[in-house]
Structures are given as structure tokens and as C-alpha cells.
Amino acid sequence: MNQERKEELIVRWMDAEQLSAEENQQLEAILAAEPELKTLRNGHHSMREELQSVYGQPRDLPYGDFFQTKLEQAIRDSELEFAEASKASFNWRDTLRWWVAPVTVGAMAIAFLAGTRVGTAPVEERLVVAEAQIRPLVYTPEGGVTSTIVNADAAGTSVIVLEGLQPIPDSYDLMAERKSSSDRAATVKLLSRISSSQIF
């Protein structure tokens, strides 16, 4: 038997409620396991009498007449508030009433048309691919150095022009793909040397 059922049986037994034969059997089993419940039941009867003697006696609230007067006033106030609120609400609705119906019908029609168009128009499934334009960026650690990139697509070559560099000494050798700029077959060539710019 679950706890809820057990508590229900005990409470009903304490209140001297009519129990069925099956319930009586269940109760006897409970009482056999917990004989202290009999004491609880006996104590409950006297406790109920005590509670009745304390709280059950006729008594009125303090200042009964003032209570009535104040209650009447409170009811009058609440009715006044309600009437004012209703009046305000009525006026507001009244001003709206003449255009609410056509606007509502129009809105419904627009919503319907929009719904049918959106709902039935075939939507092309296409993948929009944004062409990524790769802009070369040249990082120049020295201040005042500007770079320009010249693409020679036909030749499959790009030329980076750096303006503002110090002259590169002859001893400086550029390497690319394990080849020196002084080699004939080098990918990177020092094309010209100007005082303040180098072209690679």
C-alpha cells in the first residue's frame, strides 16, 4: 500500500468515517505495524475539542459597525472606478468602431493575397555564389614604403613595385625556389634598380 493511501485511511479512521471491509483489513494491518496511531487517534479527539473551544466560539471581528461602513465605502469606490474604466474603454472603442471593420477586412484580404503568392510562387533553388575577389596584400614593414602589384596575366606573372625602399646593395641576393636572383633561370628577378624603388 502506498503512503498516500495509508494516510487517507488513517485520517478517515481518525474522523470515524465509514470504512469498507477491505479498508478495515488494510487499516488493521497498519495499526498492527504502528500501534502508536491509536494514541494519535485518542489524542485527536481531545485536540479537536480544544480547538473548538478556542476557535469555535461565536465572536465578531473588532469594530464591526466601522467594518460595515468602510466596506460600503470600498464597494462604492470600486464601483465608481469600474464605471469610469468602462466609460473610458467604451469611448475609446467607440472612436475606433467606424473604421475598424473595413480596415480589418482589408488587412485580411491583403494577408490572404500575400499568403497565396508567397505560398504558391515557385522559388528557384539556386545557389548564389559570391565570387571571392582575392586582393593581394603586401605587407611592408618599413614606414613610408608603398606597394603596387601589377598583374601580367598573359605572361602568368605578377610584379610587385615597392616605393620608398633603401637601395639594395649588390651583395644582397634574392632567393626563390632555391634559386638565386643572379641565376638566369631564377623565378624571381631583380628587374631594375632605382634609387628608391625596387621591382621584383
Partner 1 sequence: MAADSGSSAGGGGDEAKIDLDLVTRSQGGDSRAFEDLVVRHRGRVYAMIQNMVKNDADSWDLSQEVFVKVWKALPKFEARAKFSTWLYRIVHNVVYDWMRKRKLESAGEFDDELMKEGQVAAGSRTTPNQNARPDEALRNEELRTDIEAAMAKLSPGHREVVMLREIQGLDYKEIAEVMEISMGTVMSRLFYARKKLQGLLSNESGA
DSSP-based three-state secondary structure for 198: strand
Is residue 162 a contact partner of residue 197, using CB atoms and an 8 Å limit?
Answer: yes
Q: Which of residues 24-83 bind partner 1 (CB under 8 A)?
A: 40, 43-44, 47-48, 50-64, 67-68, 70-71, 74-75, 78
Q: Residue 31 class from Cβ within 10 Å (0-12 exposed, 13-18 middle, 19+ buried)?
A: middle
| Residue 78 vs 182, nearer CB to partner 1 | 78
| Residue 77 vs 173, nearer CB to partner 1 | 77
- Count of residues that interact with partner 1, criterion CB under 8 A: 35
| Residue 72 vs 173, nearer CB to partner 1 | 72
Q: Does 11 bind partner 1 (CB under 8 A)?
A: yes
C-alpha span between 63 and 20 (Å, rounded): 50
C-alpha span between 173 and 180 (Å, rounded): 6
The distance of closest approach from Cβ of residue 127 to partner 1 in the complex, given in angstroms and rounded to an integer, is: 57
What is the CB-side half-sphere exposure of residue 154 using CA atoms within 13 A? 0
Q: Which stretches of the chain bind partner 1, using CB under 8 A?
A: 3-4, 7-8, 10-12, 14, 40, 43-44, 47-48, 50-64, 67-68, 70-71, 74-75, 78
